Amino acid sequence: MIKPVCCMLAAAMFCMAAADKVGDSTATVVHHLNPDTLVKQEHATQIVRIRNPRDLVHIAGQTAVNTKFEVVGSSLQEQTVEALKNLDFALEAAKCKRHSLVSLRVFFVSNNAAEIRTLQGMLKTYFKGGPLPALTLIGVTRLVGDGMLVEIEGTAHLQDARP
């Protein structure tokens, strides 16, 4: 009695899995992958994969400048707050949200390990526990404008809202 039930359950599960596969072939799905073979990070996802991508938005490197191109903030931490605000403005203009970001590159001027850890913590906070993008942190000797300490460029995937 038990065996046929098990068989039926197994068959049903197989059918559901097959149906899932059929669904996957057309639906847009964003996966955030952190395989055990790679180091886990609190502020980034190792791989962000989009099946059947919709629209991609590429955002130029945002720095801590106001609309007059004046640098705001004198420390890496202060400037990161401003650069992230500008990133928000760019995302908003493209009808994206923070969690639409699938990839980030952060260029920073610092060789101070504690400062770099603070930067990583700020990125984690920025995403408020939501999905994290793939990330590259890049230390550089300087950026394009005098006094600039951070520049953040990103790619977002626009799945839901369309302009």
Partner 1 sequence: VSRPLPALLLAAFLLCASDARVGNKRKWNPEKLFQTEDFSHVVESRSIRTIAFISAQSAADPEGRLNTADNLTAQTRKTLRNLAEALSATGAVPDDVVSMHIYVTDYQQAKGMIVGRQVRKMFENRVPASSFIPVSQLPIEGAQIQIDAVVEMDH
Binding site for partner 1 (CB under 8 A): 31, 33, 35-41, 44-53, 56, 102-103, 105, 108-111, 113, 116, 120, 133-141, 155
Nearer to partner 1, 8 or 27 (CB): 27
CA 68 distance to own-chain centroid: 28
Nearer to partner 1, 25 or 67 (CB): 25
In the complex, minimum distance from the CB of residue 90 to partner 1, in angstroms, rounded to a whole number: 18
Residues in contact with 103: Cβ distance below 8 Å, sequence separation at least 6, in sequence order: 48, 133, 134, 135, 154, 155
Nearer to partner 1, 74 or 136 (CB): 136
131 near 47, Cβ under 8 Å?
Answer: no
In the complex, minimum distance from the CB of residue 95 to partner 1, in angstroms, rounded to a whole number: 20
